Chains A and B, each alone.
Chain A
Amino acid sequence: MIVRDLTELLEAKDRTPETDKNAEVSCGYTCDLLSWVMAHGTAGMAWVTVQTHMNVIAVASLMEMTAVIIPEGIEMEAPSVEKAKEEGITVLESPLTAYEICARLAGKGLPGKHE
């Protein structure tokens, strides 16, 4: 799956049109505890979280994730969006719940995190 596939599948708004839409998505994950994600994140991950502050992008960047997906119509904070553009990480805002987002990703064959 590539980033481009996520936008339509999740009925999402892409806040970072500048980033590479052909970037590969390796797996899906959802968690709102950043310290937990630091211990369990992997490269290429599409991470679903309701957190919208700058540290989300710091974590995503350090873990070399591909995309951050914000559920339930929540808006990513503007400074976080700017930081995401700098770091080349796609930020998607979806009207769907985190549960529904993960269900759709899994339905399309995107695996969960693997060690």
Chain B
Amino acid sequence: MAVLLEKSFPVEAGAFTTAGEASTTIKRTLKQLGINAEVLRHVSVACYEVELNLVIHSLGGTLTLLVDPEKVTLISKDVGPGIPDIDKAMTEGFSTASAEARTLGFGAGMGLPNMKRNATEFDIQSEVGVGTTITMSFALR
């Protein structure tokens, strides 16, 4: 499928003050493309969750937005530390967030389940010591 748009955003580990900037830009971009409000809302929620996960849990990574006529795709790729038990990480209420993240109101253990709930397709691959890749797609029709 022909890609209409591809954009990448670097996300820095621990950068809480700028967290959400990539998601805001992505939302704005999709709005300009005329993506319908319902899809836009699902993408925005999942995008912010995955961006926050990069800030809170990863050693840094990249968020990539792809748009084709059929779907919007978000790919989050980080450089570690990797998730030892994906099933556990996918469980609502389970979180390994730091005290700092919790003080800010994160770490409720809702992130990954919330992404899965909002995406049409959700895939997570992780290897300890290597990194995690999350691929989410959102059907446009």
Contact = CB atoms under 8 A, between A and B. Distances in A.
Contact of A58 (B24, B109, B110, B114): B24
Interface string A39-66: 1000000000101011110110111000
Nearest to A62: B44
Contacts of A37: 105
Given A35-B49, A62-B48, A55 B105 contact: yes
B33 interface: no
Contacts of B52: 35, 55
A35 B114 contact: yes
Interface stretch (B12-20, B58-66, B69-77, B132-140): B12-20
Contacts of B107: 35
Interface of B: 16-21, 23-24, 27, 44-45, 48-49, 52, 104-111, 114, 117
Interface of A: 32-39, 49, 51, 53-56, 58-59, 61-63, 79
Contact of A59 (B16, B18, B48, B108): B48
Given A34-B104, A63-B44, 18 more contacts: A32-B105, A35-B107, A35-B114, A36-B110, A38-B49, A54-B16, A54-B17, A54-B18, A54-B20, A55-B16, A55-B19, A55-B52, A58-B21, A62-B20, A62-B24, A62-B27, A62-B45, A63-B45
Interface residue SS majority, chain A: helix
Given A51-B104, A55-B104, A61-B24, A38 B17 contact: no
B45 A39 contact: yes
Nearest to A57: B20
Contacts of A59: 20, 48
Contact of A55 (B20, B27, B45): B20
Contact of A39 (B18, B27, B114): B114
B116 to A, nearest CB: 12
A55 B108 CA distance: 15
A52 to B, nearest CB: 10
A38 B48 CA distance: 8
B108 A58 contact: no
A62 B108 contact: no
Nearest to B37: A43
24 contacts: A35-B107, A35-B111, A37-B105, A38-B48, A39-B45, A39-B117, A49-B105, A53-B16, A53-B104, A54-B16, A54-B19, A55-B16, A55-B20, A55-B52, A55-B104, A55-B105, A55-B106, A58-B19, A58-B48, A61-B20, A62-B24, A62-B44, A62-B48, A63-B44
